[in-house]
Amino acid sequence: MSFYASIITLFPDLFPGPLGASVIGRGLENGAWSLETRFLRDYASDKHRTVDDTPSGGGAGMVLRADILAAAIDDTAAQDDPRPKILMSPRGTPLTQKRVRELAAGPGAVIVCGRFEGVDQRVIEARDLEEISIGDYVLAGGEVAAMVLLEAVVRLLPGVLGAEESHADESFEDGLLEYPQFTRPQVFEGREIPPVLISGDHGRVEKWRREQAQALTQDRRPDLWAARKQKP
């Protein structure tokens, strides 16, 4: 059974977007994963297809209504649907490679794309939505964030990216940033490829890459380095 993603959104025409290109798009065409969109306004009951209302207690903007979003979620995922229900949200738990791998090993995901000032807290609790953030910034909506999550997950699915070993040395896979990469020409604007990389000595190459990854992580992501050092 392939990875099955359902997107609940106010802008279904945005999908598949970038997810329909390159290796991710070929995986979609080949059935390595599948994608459906649900238009949130289809679950509104009034003639204007209203999905939001003013925030209780006052304030700027609008909030997605709990009853309408709940109806969309319930129609998308039956009670026995094993897929996690995810809300893309700037206040969510930061997305990590560990969570990406967990999702890639599962049956898929139901992803809610927020808009406006947010989502009524009651539907988040009632439908047990897992809030996930892709960074400490705010977007106009959750659609682009959903694409980021899906690309990170889908590229790990069997048959999508290629050789499994291509994942092993990537950033975050071992708590480290990836080492620098080089390719031809041998010299570019006076800068040469490090001699060790063309030495043919695989042991020295591996040692150099490991040292570079460690140095980069300590310099650029001290938080990752500290967390890695704390592991038993």
CB 113 within 8 A of CB 85: no
Average confidence (pLDDT) over 136-141: 96
Quote the CA–CA distance of 167 and 175 in Å, as a whole number.
13
| 172 — pLDDT class (breaks 50, 70, 90) | confident
- Give me the pLDDT at residue 175, please: 87
Pinpoint the residues of the chain covered by CATH 1.10.1270.20.
168-230
Instruction: Give 54-67 pLDDT, tens digit per residue.
Output: 999 999 999 999 99
Quote the CA–CA distance of 125 and 29 in Å, as a whole number.
35
CATH topology for 168-230?
Trp Operon Repressor; Chain A (1.10.1270)
For the domain made up of 3-154, the CATH class stated in words is alpha beta
Q: What angle do CA 167, 199, 225 make, to 5 degrees?
A: 45
- Give me the pLDDT at residue 164, please: 55
Q: Where are the alpha helices (DSSP H) in the chain?
A: 22-30, 66-76, 97-104, 121-126, 143-154, 202-220, 222-230
Pinpoint the residues of the chain covered by CATH 3.40.1280.10.
3-154
Q: Which three-class secondary structure state does DSSP give residue 52?
A: strand
Instruction: Give 22-38 pLDDT, tens digit per residue.
Output: 999 999 999 999 999 99
Average confidence (pLDDT) over 103-117: 96
The structure tokens 């094993």 sit at: 82
- Give me the pLDDT at residue 120, please: 97
Long-range pairs for 156-165: beta carbons < 8 A, 24 or more residues apart: 156/100, 156/101, 156/104, 157/2, 157/3, 157/27, 157/32, 157/33, 157/104, 158/32, 159/27, 159/30, 159/32, 160/23, 160/24, 160/26, 160/27, 160/32, 160/33, 161/23, 162/23
> What does DSSP assign to residue 95?
P
Q: pTM of the predicted model, to two decimals?
A: 0.91
Quote the CA–CA distance of 115 and 34 in Å, as a whole number.
24
CB 132 within 8 A of CB 99: yes
Angle, helices 222-230 vs 202-220, to 10°: value is 110
Q: Check whether 232 has a pLDDT greater than 90.
A: no
Residues in the chain: 232
